[in-house]
A and B are shown apart, each in its own frame.
Chain A
Amino acid sequence: MKEIILKKGCYYDSVKLMLVTNDLNELSGVLNAAVVMGTDLNKDLLFRSGFKVDKNLKITQNDLVIGLEIEDNTDIKDVLEKVDELLNKKIIKSTESKSYKSVETAFNENKSNIAIISVPGEYAYFEAKKSLDLGMNIMLFSDNISLSQELELKKYAKSKGLLVMGPDCGTAHINGVPLCFSNNVNKGNISIIGASGTGSQELMCLIDKMGSGIRQVIGTGGRDLSEEVGGITTIMALDMLCKDKNTEIISLISKPPSKKVRENIIDYIRKNVMKKVVIHFIGELENSVDDNIYYTDSIKNLAILSSKLSGSYKEINKEDINIKKIDKGFIKALYSGGTLAYECLYNLEKYTNLNIFSNLSKNKILNKNDMKNNIVIDFGDDEYTKGKAHPMIDPSYRNKIFEETLLEKDTSLIILDIVLGYGSHKEPHKQIIDIYKKVKINSCKLPLVFVDLLGTYKDIQGYEKIKTELQNEGFYVFECNKDLIDNVVKLIN
């Protein structure tokens, strides 16, 4: 029996709901369960899983939706009781850890200097503003924050000399402390300014593998270099890094900025920054030097040049792919990180004739039919994270699409990024492998799978162990997104 139960006005964060869903699915008698907030995206997920959502039932994003498919001899009341139990279970950690009900009371007792904010986007503004009022720097993990709110917060922060990292900032590394998603890297003299997440992570991991070290990683949010925001956080970051004794090299990675903002940033660097600045704007193919400013044409080359300038560089492992060509068919790039997805999209568009649909470009994926094409998806993009946790925390949606594309007969190649490090899943490759195994049983020919394994050898999940397990399954594993993409381009042409 399949049923949908609605609890109006019941809010839980998406991570909690994911854990509850997982626990429910382990129960005997439960064939399929989904416990989610009633956002459009989740309603779509429920629909895809076979639950019929009654159109007349007014479900809003503030309502909890429980989708249950149970065996006939199981009592749904028992299952619902279990749901209640799981939802209200208190995590009994250390007895001395006290939690607060508001930022003010937390601040009054602790006099903190930075707030990490990961509440739903429409309320993040209020928590951010309050934190700035109290004099704290902020890391805004939350996305789905409006442009005007971002601008207001950044202007306000600027007037108080405070840093706003974000919105949609998933990675930072400050004073040796990894914030949200980051990696276990060597300490060193290179500081990174990156937009949001995986771009910074890829860069810091490559630098680490190349034998250099990281001092600070500052996230600016994906829209900081837009015309409207004008690079407020980027400029503050440059200023702070100039004054930071231990920073000798500044590496800047970003999606393409607006022309005017690009000029302002370069101008600012010319006038105020004496240290070496190495830049890669994704999509730009410049490789040049202008006094202390170095332009590079890929994240990989950004890492190489930064390392060389910092004083120590060694080559990283390159994959030897002994495939001569790939079958005719579609390429499905399913990324959890925006910068990496963008790098892939850009290179494919520039160096192949493929017609590509992507949520990152003008060729938007508007419906299910559009998915039957070459696609590059950034699952961390705002439209995919409304009411859902970021794919690096909750990979269920990307996993679902991975399974669907594996089953499609016209898919010839699937590209994935798997991210290790702080904040990531303990076994981020496991579900991917399980899905692949499951599909393999019933299918004779499966598409190629290329994986960018993002991490350092020190990351807790065990880089080399995971690489081996993926390779044993038949996946091709790359230590660098550019290497992966170069190989794809070579195979296509």
Chain B
Amino acid sequence: MNNLFLEDLNIINVGISNFYEDLKEQKVNICQVDWKIPSINKEILYKIEKLKDNKEILDKISKDNQKFIEIIENSEIEIVSMGLAKDVIPGMKENLILHAGPPINWERMCGPLKGAIIGALIFEGHAKTKEEAIQKIENNEFIFEPNHEHNTVAPMSGVITANMPVFILKNKTYGNYSYSNINEGAGKALRFGAFDEKVIERLHWIKDYMYPILKEAIEMSGGINIKSIIVQALQMGDDNHNRNKASTSLFLRELSKYLVMSSYDKNEVYKVCEHIEKIDMFNVNLVMAMCKSIADAILNHNLKYCTLVSIMCRNGTDFGIKLASTKDKWFVAPANIPDGLYFPGFSEKDAARDIGDSCITETYGLGGFSLAAAPAIVQFIGGTYQDGVDITNEMYEITDIESKIFKIPNLDFKGSPQAINILKVLEKGIEPIITTGMAHKDPGIGQVGAGLVKAPMKCFEDAFNEFLSNLE
């Protein structure tokens, strides 16, 4: 029984705005949808419609998506210890070089990534010079694999080798571990592709001094609840990708009483605290590892019908994603160049393509997806407060829930957009947006700016086609 004639009209106008304006003037209850031509092939739109018509499959999708979200909410994650990569990272070997982003071979790698690898080889003692390092690489003496395939994440080039120390996080609810390295600081650093004497020296200091001191303190603490730190930091103006000042402060605050009880030389402990104090970005490695521990818990489940995205990452050449349902498969497309504000003296032509595992934070509702919570970082990337709100609001279009854990104070504590649904991304033609630092495309120079970048739609198109073929 159609009741339209008995109700007050409550209209949605999709398309020509004249109709909206005419009716609004007459004080009719109406709202406007700003429609744009979908950038997606119509074939895919039809396939999605067909999928939605199949009630049986829709139910299964709903169930598996629900499980994904449950895992996010139930995961209790702690920083439990530290160790050297070769001792703790599953599958680590002396000749294995881990890096950020999806799989890639040496020839296709960008400048900063190559520089970081050369630096790592020098640090490990496999080579004394750049030329020697390159020769050994070209001799196929080393294997390259993504951090992600070893339960690990790291920012920018994200290069991790056998003797580098890593944080160990445990997802206490689901039993899996995740790892990330220690942040070296801004400017000339390995992760930007620098490998001069000072960089190598610092890497050694980190391994020889910072690592044992931190490890002792963390173990003394019995475990640091990183999720709780992130939740609080979000309400203190951190987006938890580009701005980690509050998060880092909370981490150091919690650890400080244990550092005070350190068995190591006071002067070395001082230097450790000083190092952390100087690095606003310090906690980004930890928030990334926290998200990774959720992602891996999800990938450990069989969620064949799940349409949600479990991993997003990039290596300076390619952008890669994984769905919860298609497990090991990577879906890859050329990475974009971020768009934003450049530091004085630099411009677009200096920027490297999007790089790093750090958009694992956006994958779970932080970073660009929480931009409304971080007015300071919006300004940093050249936008206004309202821009930040608009960007966050756009992300609600492509996610399934308002996060039960990550709340945005200035949106009245609304949960951040969480659980990226590939069907929504495709149907609405809206790509996930990421706030990121821009690296210089030449190795070793460092960050040249900060801005926004989008995940390429092609990854989602390919992922969807694979998802469909798995259902048959």
Contact = CB atoms under 8 A, between A and B. Distances in A.
A422 B26 CA distance: 10
Given A62-B37, A110-B31, A161-B1, A91 B8 contact: no
Interface residues of A, number: 59
A110 B29 CA distance: 9
Interface stretch (B13-21, B115-123, B305-313, B435-443): B13-21
Contacts of B57: none
Contacts of B397: 101-102, 104-105
B34 interface: yes
Nearest to A98: B31
A393 B28 CA distance: 21
Interface of B is mostly: mixed
B34 A113 contact: no
A131 B36 contact: no
A196 to B, nearest CB: 16
A141 B52 CA distance: 25
Contacts of B428: 101-102
Contact of A114 (B10, B18, B32, B396): B10
B394 interface: yes
Interface in B416-454: 427-428, 430
B2 A163 contact: yes
Given A101-B34, A101-B428, A163-B2, A91 B14 contact: no
A162 B14 contact: no
A309 interface: no
A102 B34 CA distance: 7
B24 interface: yes
B27 to A, nearest CB: 10
A126 B22 CA distance: 25
Interface residues of B, number: 42
B37 A106 contact: no
A112 B15 contact: no
Interface string A126-147: 1101010100110001100000
User: Which of B13, B16, B38, B52 has most chain A Cβ within 10 Å?
Assistant: B16
Given A112-B10, A113-B10, A423-B19, A240 B5 contact: yes
B411 interface: no
Interface stretch (A115-123, A224-232, A344-352): A115-123
A122 B29 CA distance: 28
Contacts of B10: 110-114
Contacts of B21: 93
Interface in A8-29: 11, 13, 15
A213 B13 CA distance: 27
B346 interface: no
Contacts of B45: 126
B23 A177 contact: yes
A117 B14 contact: yes
Interface in B8-62: 8-19, 21-24, 26, 28-29, 31-38, 42, 45, 49, 52
Nearest to B42: A122
Interface in A186-245: 216, 236, 239-240, 243-244
Contact of B31 (A112, A129, A423): A112
18 contacts: A97-B32, A99-B31, A99-B33, A99-B34, A100-B31, A101-B33, A101-B397, A105-B397, A107-B12, A110-B12, A116-B14, A117-B14, A126-B49, A161-B1, A161-B2, A180-B19, A243-B1, A393-B16
Interface of A: 11, 13, 15, 62, 91, 93, 97-107, 109-120, 122-123, 126-127, 129, 131, 133, 136-137, 141-142, 161-163, 174-175, 177-180, 216, 236, 239-240, 243-244, 389, 393, 422-423
**Which 6 residue pairs are nearest across A and B when measured between Cβ atoms?**
A118-B15, A11-B37, A118-B16, A112-B10, A119-B15, A115-B12
